[in-house]
Amino acid sequence: MIISPSVLSANFADLKTDIKKIEEGGASWLHYDVMDGHFVPNISFGYSILGDVRKVTDLFLDVHLMISDPKKYLNDFIKAGADLITFHYESCDDLDQVKSVITEIKNQGIKVGISIKPNTDVEAIKPVLADLDLVLVMSVEPGFGGQSFMPKAIDKIKTLRNWIDQGKMECLIEVDGGINEETGKQCKEAGADVLVAGSYIFKHENTKEAIESLK
């Protein structure tokens, strides 16, 4: 299991210390939640802070764009050092737009993911699944850390696992929101490959133990 700690729950005034903690705790990815106050009702951080993060870590930078116009900012996040950019299916007008964002990200030589909100049916992204490196299943409404896991994510993970295995695709399944030892185990059993966890990891007194408990 790949663990991607979400720095949304880190101490931004001492971010480097928190990044070192998750590195030493055995995480290989870092989840970077970008919120624009429009697609979601919260504002977090943008690409210039990502550039600073890139300078202090070799962790795989897993960028989750919760923004209305992902295309406008792709190059900025890529230049800042993103290894993977995941954008929201719901931020696009139609499937053609989804496809053009996928192509644009891939053409820049980094990995691409699509995220679906809790009320979006997994069928919506089936036509592009073979083109993706990752699907991010939201198990809370995007916008805030510290919410409770929505169990309906489990069926989506199972469906995706089935399609990906049947089609012999490379796509990873990532789950984000309300992940702790118990819900992480349920996602693992359903077939997830990557777990995002923010408050569970950063509020735990022992970062390494928290990360280990999710693997």
- Residue whose CB is less far from Zn ion, 176 or 193: 176
Angle of the 15-24 helix axis to the 47-56 helix axis, nearest 10: 50
Shortest Cβ 64–Zn ion spacing (Å): 4
Tell me how far CA of residue 57 lies from CA of 54, 75, 132, 195, in angstroms.
Answer: 6, 20, 25, 20
Closest CA to 40 of 140, 173, 183: 140
Indicate whether 108 belongs to the interface with ligand DX5 (CB under 6 A): no
From the list Zn ion, ligand DX5, none, pick the one residue 8 interacts with, judged by a Cβ distance below 5 to 8 Å according to partner type.
ligand DX5
Among 41, 146, 151, 167, binds ligand DX5 (CB under 6 A): 146
Shortest Cβ 123–ligand DX5 spacing (Å): 22
Indicate whether 33 belongs to the interface with ligand DX5 (CB under 6 A): yes
From the list Zn ion, ligand DX5, none, pick the one residue 173 interacts with, judged by a Cβ distance below 5 to 8 Å according to partner type.
none
Indicate whether 176 belongs to the interface with Zn ion (CB under 5 A): yes
Active-site residues, by number, are 33, 176
Closest CA to 85 of 97, 101, 68, 69: 101
Q: What is the CA radius of gyration of the chain?
A: 16
Positions touching ligand DX5 (CB under 6 A) are 6, 8-9, 31, 33, 64, 140, 142-147, 176-179, 196-200
